[in-house]
Amino acid sequence: MAERRPRHYSVHREILDEGAVDELAEKTDSKMPLSQKVKNSLRCSGPRVKNCFLSSVPVFSWLPRYSLRDNYLGDLISGLSVGIMQLSQAMACALLAAVPPVFGLYSSFSPVLIYFIFGTSKHISVGTFAVTCVMMGGVVERIAPDSSFMIWDNTTNSSIVDILARDDERVRVAAAVTCLSGLIQLVLGLIHFGFVVTYLSEPLVRGYTTGAAIHAIVSQLKYTFGINPVRHSGAFSLLYTVLEVCYLIPQTNVGTLVTSIVTIVGLILTKELNAYLSKKLPIPIPVDLLAIVIATVISWQVNLEEKYGVDVVGPIPSGLQPPVVPKLSLFGQVIGDAFAQAVVGYGVVISLGRIFALKYGYKVDSNQELIALGLSNTVGGFFQCFAISCSLSRSMVQESTGGKTQVAGALSAMIILIITLWIGALFEDLPKAVLAAIIYVNLHGMMKQFMDIPALWKSNKVDMLVWVVTFVLTCLFNPDLGLAASIAFSMLTVIFRTQLPTYSILGQVPDTDVYRPQEEYNQVRQVPGILIFRSSATLYFANAEMYQEALGEKSGIDITKQLSAKKKLEDKRKRLEKKNAKKAKKEAKKNVDMEGTEHRDVAVIEVFAEPDPSLPTAIILDLSPVNFLDTVGVKTLRGIRKDYGQIGIEVVLAGCQTGVVDNLQTGGFFNETVTRSCLFSSVHDAVLFCQSSKTHDYDKEKSFKKNKDVVHDKQSLMEQIIFLGEIGRDRSDTLLSPEMNGGQYSDGAPDPDLSWSCHTNTVVKKARQRLYFLRRLRVFKLPLSVLKNFYTCTIESILSESITKWMGSATMQVQLALRRVVRSAERTIRTSRRTVCLPVSVCCLQGDATVC
């Protein structure tokens, strides 16, 4: 392997936070008002009307440009091949739908012509489909079972099924389901709900179609063995049917079984020969048509029905059925089944349509496909058809024989029309066992889908689990209930994936701005003092709590324990402050006659606590995988920033998408103290910011430690407070003016002639005047910034005056007076019910600078 040649590059720019990026890129408000959207949608023009019409009726956009020279031969051969193939499949699928075989021919004519006008796929073959026919058969036999049409036969003195009445009712039920499913598809297409198919993942569809194929095979066992098992419906009906068939196997009709076996063997051998000669033959051998013709001739010559009791198709009426309004009273009973039919049928159509469109370079409109399929089923319901979809086997034949446009589908419908009008009656002696054999052989492609299991096991075990669970649920329940349960399970896997994401601590690839998980790379190193945390999933209510727990676990910081320890330290400091105040008050009474005497033996209070070196100074939350935030997610981030900020760890966000920033804005993440300056465009920007901030804090801490050592060695308690207050000031040279200093020099030199007691009274008097004015400001409800600035000015003025006039000669009386001033000012601010961050100098006066 060749050694990678290093390439040096350098990017010079400032550290960019979200606010800087918005200003630099001049962010605009891209959201269009609702009124403008409505206005634009209602705007009408000639080109827009034309485009709308051509997109709604696509046949007028492609048919005028149809090239006879390039397309007619391929479409003609393809149409003939598919039409002949559709004859056998339509009659066989009618048995699956529990209606007479001739209605399969009806379903292969008028719906196909409607799709020819409104469809956008050039290569799929719409019509009967085994899976939707199995679903239809379950609905039909549930609503119109044989037990509801039993009549007494005087000849045999037994109850028999009134077949004519039963079939008429079943056709009405099938037409009602078809019409309702078409209306559902039409409505979904008009409201642009074509994305509903995205909830049907490929493993789910393949597992579902395999399970439906098992239902189709089991439903045809009675025609293979020549028995009449009781039809079961509902959950576990497949198991009950298999047990019933096993119980009735001793009653098998030998003639029917032999017919089935011979047909199956002949079809398999002929199809293998067809596949072997596929490159040499211009069109494939019409195996199914040959089987139907040969079986019909043999049955007619041998008279299989009378001699051997073989069940045949029976009378096939010539001509088309007149349109009939579907039975509206059935809509309430079949609405759930109709919705399942609509979703499954559309899912198969759009899946195959996109495969061929990607192969041949054209576009399939998902919403227009819904409308086309909805119109086909709605119109088909009036002509007593059952719900259609598209067949994989016919679509492959249509594509492989040279079909290039929807004209091939229209030609196949014409073949079916000719058969229905003049040739259909010739197939009355066709054994039903032959149709069952055709179904078995045509479903062998779906049986090959079992090979998906080992392939998915190697590639994605969750998808493999979806496939298996979908197959099992479809087999155990009816196809409609199985579909609903499978979609629910698929959604659960999505929820589990987002609830159980991968949490990582990122490190830096040396000498780059690239950051990768430390546990997955050997040469990745953590940035000193900075923790970079990332989740592989979005942040919302279902995993917000786990996000916080994972952050604590990965960082090794027990935030609850840290906050508890900090609270205990604050309580201890307050108790010590009260104790020292009482002690100071007692000493003041004892020393009331000892003015001017210095007291150096006063206990020293440790103002600043040493930071824990094991804790990071900053945490960067990489939100690049997050595509949205709900209110719980925003509160989680706000809580993390607040909690870790209380223990001295700065929390910043990196890699936020624009939508996530908007969610933070609307969720109340930003306020007066938290701005967009804590959001960074990249992790590297955030790292550089935290490093620069860390260096600045280190220099301040180093300077403070040096000054603190001087305080411990040379000054008393009050001198420490004054000196630390001076360090916390923004400008150490800002003292009171000579007028406010009582005639003192601006450089702070004290007047030796000034009486100490007079100075004490002056300081307290000025402080009380300022506090009175501060209360008046609060009454007028001025902004928080005004109160805060005035408060800071008041206290720091007192400090400046104190430093100027009595450095090194403070008495306990002045200390207590200043403490009363500070506490009174605090109460004034607190009663305004606003949060104020005290200046360092004020905290120092109370011995609580660590909090600041």
pLDDT class of 842 with cuts at 50, 70, 90: very low
Whether residue 350 has pLDDT greater than 50: yes
Per-residue pLDDT tens digits for 96-114 = 888 988 899 999 999 999 9
Average pLDDT in the chain:
76
Cα 98 to chain centroid, rounded: 40
Whether residue 733 has pLDDT greater than 50: no
687 versus 399: which is more confidently predicted? Answer: 687
Q: List Cβ neighbours of 553 (8 Å cut-off, separation of 6 or more).
A: 503
pLDDT of residue 840: 35
pLDDT of residue 793: 56
Q: List Cβ neighbours of 612 (8 Å cut-off, separation of 6 or more).
A: none
CB 356 within 8 A of CB 121: yes
Per-residue pLDDT tens digits for 302-314 = 888 888 888 888 7
pLDDT class of 608 with cuts at 50, 70, 90: very low
Closest CA to 453 of 441, 442, 463: 463
Per-residue pLDDT tens digits for 172-215 = 999 999 999 999 999 999 888 877 766 778 888 888 878 888 88
* Average pLDDT of span 701-720: 42
What is the C-alpha separation between 742 and 751, in angstroms, rounded? Answer: 10
* Average pLDDT of span 476-501: 83
pLDDT of residue 49: 80
* Token pair recorded at residue 390: 């598209």
Whether residue 590 has pLDDT greater than 50: yes
492 versus 605: which is more confidently predicted? Answer: 492
Whether residue 828 has pLDDT greater than 50: yes
pLDDT of residue 738: 35
Per-residue pLDDT tens digits for 539-566 = 888 888 889 888 988 888 888 888 888 8
Element (H, E) at 494: helix 479-499
The beta strand positions in 283-427, using DSSP E, are 389-390
Q: Which residues pair with 389 in a beta bridge?
A: 127
pLDDT of residue 821: 56
What is the C-alpha separation between 661 and 669, in angstroms, rounded? Answer: 10
pTM: 0.67
Whether residue 837 has pLDDT greater than 60: no
Closest CA to 128 of 395, 446, 474, 331: 395
Whether residue 395 has pLDDT greater than 70: yes
* Average pLDDT of span 428-433: 86
Closest CA to 479 of 171, 179, 200, 136: 136
pLDDT of residue 611: 55
Say if strands 389-390 and 126-127 run parallel, antiparallel, or are unpaired: antiparallel
pLDDT of residue 824: 60
